[in-house]
Amino acid sequence: MPRSALFRVILACGLGALVTHSFGQEQIACFTPQSTVLFQGDSITDMNRGRSADPNHVLGHSYAFIIGAKAGSTYPERGVKFFNRGISGNKVSDLQIRWDSDTIAIHPDFLSILIGVNDLNGGVTADEFEAQYDHLLAETMAKLPAVHLVLCEPFGLPTGGFKANWASYKPELDRRREIVAKLAKKYSATFVAFQHVFDDACKRAPAETWIWDGVHPTFSGQQLLADEWVKTVNASLGDPLFSPSRNSAIDPQVNFERDSYDWLHRHADVLSEQAKANPDVVMIGDSITHFWGGSPSANHVNGPKSWKKTFIGVRVLNMGFGWDRTQNVLWRLNHGELMGLHPRSIVLNIGTNNLVGDDTARTNTPEETATGIEHIVKVLRTRCPDANIFVMAVFPRGFEKGNELDRRISALNRILLTKFKDPKNSVLDIGQELRQSDGSIAKEIMFDGTHPTDEGYSIWGSALVKAGAIPKAR
């Protein structure tokens, strides 16, 4: 079997962001390798979960346990981490109190929230519920801008103590369901509708089979929740690696390329280095940035002299990763890179690999790639509000001017120039400086038509200094 075909088989078994496997009547979600999935809510999610690291009880016995157990047993090699932080009796205001420690600090890639029945039963008005939930979600997206947000609607059935007053209770419950659907749309979240699932289930068996007290699902009801959650999330997120219907450039992904270095190991090196670096300048990008020089060190560098000359006396953190695309940068940022740093300048050079598809990611259009870069800049601006962000126009590729890839790069750069006009979010285009007078690229500037030589890096370094991206040495 050819390597590319073999890799596609492996990918179908677990390397996609969400691929499928048999899950009862539905499908099981297989999450991105090394991703973190967090379930938040009240007693419906809690379901007697343990409060320690005891693996027998850590997920309780709710839908979160069912989803985590099946996904974990089907794809154990993916190393996906599942957390349940539901707490019985919680309202939105209770989530807010513990949000930093129980959500933000976990840095989830997927965050699922099911909340609302205690707000209704506890006298919180619909308007108050909406305002508090809206505030919580705004804070979440500001701190975790790349998270996949899943909002689940509250639900109920006329059983137990709710049977007698169901006629007056249900309209208020429906109002909360509408609010959650509205917020899901506002924050581009996946919306999971549960009420219709229980309504349909009651056509097969009495309501008490599914929810015993009007609020809490039985074990059979929890299975319904898990099935619907998985079905909806699969349909919403699909497989962004290859689906033409989704912009893969904005879906955070681990880098699956087989390159000359260990991608996750370098990510760990960056986290370790940034804890002590206090950089003036942060360089973010792909192999063009990675193999220029600096720290964390690469296994080889192509521009050591120009790096030393450009950044003499300046503290610099190199967050370049070979073969990275925009989606890989978003994953890294969502997993701690740049957290707590206050650089004066951030230089972003990313996008060239988005325009080249292979076995690990499809080709993005210039428009998709520009949107991916825009998403990165939004994260950078949120995380480092005082930094000057320099978005590099993508460097030309290929020795001959006007090749197909070079034309796509030119189209991308034209879009970038329209998107970033703020002086603090500016585009720096050095394409002409890298070309010869006839528009071609000399091997003395880019030895393979893509990666600069030391001389090529000197051109980039000089442009950064001239643009004010390199602060004076302290």
Same domain for 262 and 299, yes or no, is: yes
pLDDT score, position 473:
62
**Do 290 and 225 share a structural domain?**
no
* Helix, strand, coil percent content, the chain, rounded in steps of 5: 45, 10, 40
- Looking at 287, 306, 345, 458, which residue is catalytic? 287
Residue of 127, 262, 358, 448 marked catalytic: 448
Exposed / middle / buried, residue 166 (Cβ in 10 Å: 0-12, 13-18, 19+): middle
Owning domain of residue 173? 3-239
Threshold 0.75, pTM exceeds = no
User: What is the phi/psi pair of residue 144, to 5°?
Assistant: -130, 65
Say whether both 43 and 139 belong to one domain: yes
Q: Tell me, what's the pLDDT at 124?
A: 97
For residue 25, being part of any structural domain is answered with yes
Specify the 3-state DSSP secondary structure of 221.
helix
3-state secondary structure of 167: helix
Where does a domain end: 196, 211, 239? 239
Q: Are residues 232 and 253 in the same domain?
A: no
Q: What pLDDT score was predicted for residue 338?
A: 96
Residues 133 and 222 in one domain: yes
pLDDT score for 238? 60
The verdict on residue 474 lying in a domain is: no
Does one domain contain both 202 and 285?
Answer: no
Active site residue 451: yes
Closest CA to 474 of 281, 309, 315: 315
Helix (H) or strand (E) holding 391: strand 388-392
Q: To which residue do tokens 């390199």 refer?
A: 470
Give the chain's residues under pLDDT 50.
1-29, 240-241
pLDDT of residue 138: 96
In angstroms, how far is the first alpha carbon of the chain from the final one?
Answer: 57
Contact 247, 194 (CB under 8 A): no
Q: Which of 213, 239, 265 is the last residue of a domain?
A: 239
Residue 285 CA from chain centroid, whole number: 17
Instruction: Tell me what pLDDT residue 421 has.
Output: 87
User: Given 148, 227, 451, 454, which residue is catalytic?
Assistant: 451
pLDDT value, residue 144: 92
Answer whether residue 363 is part of any domain. yes
Same domain, residue pair 215 and 259: no
* pLDDT at residue 243, rounded to an integer: 56
Does residue 214 share a domain with residue 69? yes
Does the annotation mark 448 as catalytic?
yes
Domain boundary among 201, 218, 239: 239
Which domain CATH number covers 113?
A: 3.40.50.1110
User: How many domains is the chain partitioned into structurally?
Assistant: 2
User: For residue 230, what pLDDT is reported?
Assistant: 87
What is the residue-wise DSSP string for 39-72?
A: EEESHHHHTT--SSS-TTTTTTTSHHHHHHHHHH
287 is catalytic: yes
